[in-house]
């Protein structure tokens, strides 16, 4: 299991390839990557991500451990960036390894649902019109209900 | 003495990221009441608790949580990672 909270970019190809090495007992790997999305009507200049050093890492580790136990995972990787990020840049990725694809897919969704509303990150969008903190969505909180 | 941390717009409204506070507050709610009585900027930041989340010693909890033995309390809006 590896959890990384970092400002530096990551190499999706290298991270995915490295993660896939050495799992002779695992038949499935799922990866999810989140990107900075531009705003259709009000072009995004930059997205700033703030986090809570210390709690971020422990919250992600706890989620990852829960996913390992619940979906019988062989391994988990979570990378999440902070600081200024520009449209099209990668914000974060998760990767899950399981014996079969269903567990790997479900574990990735489980991690993303929890990460969105339980890991202490906050996004702020800066446009020519000004800067605004991204509001949480009820649907993100509701998404936890299915687990 | 307790470390109090603020993140995102809570930090902006209060105007600082963290401070040490001498308090006898028994619960998070008691601490919030003490802070609100200090100055308008605190009163404004804590005016709608449904828009806030709290962590005690880096674990999410509720406003009625005890501060017994707590070293660090953090206030922030709902999280928006991913």
Dist. CA A112–CA A109, nearest whole Å: 5
Residue in A137, A138, A133 with CA at minimum distance from that of residue A123:
A133
Alpha carbon distances (Å) from A19 to A1, A2, A39, A97, B78: 10, 10, 32, 8, 31
Q: Which residue of B has its CA nearest to A123?
A: B80
Range(s) of the domain holding residue B36: 2-76
Give contacts of B 22-51 with A, CB under 8 A: none
Low-confidence ranges of chain A (pLDDT < 70): none
> How many domains would you assign to chain B?
1
What DSSP assignment string belongs to A63-78? HHHHHHHHHT-SEEEE
The answer as to whether B36 is a domain residue is yes
Dist. CA A12–CA A23, nearest whole Å: 19
Which of B7, B55, B58 lies at the smallest CB-CB distance from A50?
B7
Q: Please provide the CATH number assigned to the domain covering A2-146.
A: 3.90.1170.40
Pairing relation of β-strands B53-56 and A44-51?
Answer: unpaired
What phi and psi, each to the nearest 5 degrees, are found at residue B79?
Answer: -80, 150
Complex-level ipTM beyond the 0.85 threshold = yes
pLDDT at A41: 86
The answer as to whether B32 is a domain residue is yes
Dist. CA A54–CA B58, nearest whole Å: 7
pLDDT at A118: 94
The residue ranges of every structural domain in chain A are 2-146
Per-residue pLDDT of chain B (82 residues; tens, 9 = 90+): 999 999 999 999 999 999 999 999 999 999 999 999 999 999 999 999 999 999 999 999 999 999 999 999 999 999 999 8
Helix A101-118 vs helix A55-71: crossing angle, to nearest 10 = 150
Q: CB A80: neighbour CB atoms within 10 A? A: 24
Q: Between chains, do B58 and A112 touch, taking CB under 8 Å as contact?
A: no
| CATH code, B35 | 3.10.20.30
Residue with tokens 């709290």: B54
Q: Is A122 near chain B, with CB under 8 Å?
A: yes
pLDDT at B15: 97
- What is the arrangement of strands in the sheet containing B18-21, beginning at the earlier edge strand? B18-21, B2-6, B72-76, B53-56, B59-61
pLDDT at A140: 87
Question: What is the nearest CA distance from A33 to chain B, expressed in angstroms?
Answer: 9
Which of A50, A80, A141 lies at the smallest CB-CB distance from B8?
A50
The answer as to whether B82 is a domain residue is no
Which of A117, A122, A124 lies at the smallest CB-CB distance from B76?
A122
Alpha carbon distances (Å) from A132 to A67, B5, B9, B40, B57: 33, 21, 9, 22, 28
Q: Between chains, do A122 and B77 touch, taking CB under 8 Å as contact?
A: yes
The answer as to whether B31 is a domain residue is yes
Question: What is the nearest CA distance from A26 to chain B, expressed in angstroms?
Answer: 26
Alpha carbon distances (Å) from A53 to A34, A81, A117, B35: 20, 12, 16, 24
């Amino acid at each position: 299991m590896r959890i990384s909270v970092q400002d530096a970019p990551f190499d999706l190809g290298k991270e995915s390839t490295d993660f896939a090495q050495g799992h002779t007992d695992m038949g499935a790997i799922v990866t999810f990557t989140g990107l900075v999305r531009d705003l259709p009507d009000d072009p995004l200049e930059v997205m700033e991500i703030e986090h809570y050093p210390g709690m971020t890492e422990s919250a992600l580790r706890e989620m990852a451990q829960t996913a390992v136990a619940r979906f019988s995972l062989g391994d988990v990787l979570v990378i999440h960036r902070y600081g200024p990020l520009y449209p099209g840049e990668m914000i974060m990725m998760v990767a899950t390894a399981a014996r079969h694809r269903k567990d790997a897919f479900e574990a990735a969704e489980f991690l993303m649902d929890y990460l969105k509303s339980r890991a202490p990150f906050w996004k702020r969008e800066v446009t020519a019109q000004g800067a605004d903190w991204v509001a949480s969505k009820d649907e993100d909180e509701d998404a936890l209900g299915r687990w | 003495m307790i470390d109090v941390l603020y993140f995102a717009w809570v930090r902006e409204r209060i105007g600082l990221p963290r401070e040490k506070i001498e308090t006898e507050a028994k619960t998070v709610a008691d601490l919030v009441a003490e802070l609100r009585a200090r100055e308008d900027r605190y009163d404004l930041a804590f005016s709608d608790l449904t828009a806030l989340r709290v962590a005690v010693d880096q674990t999410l909890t509720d406003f009625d949580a005890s501060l017994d033995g707590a070293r660090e309390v953090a206030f922030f809006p709902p999280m928006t990672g991913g």
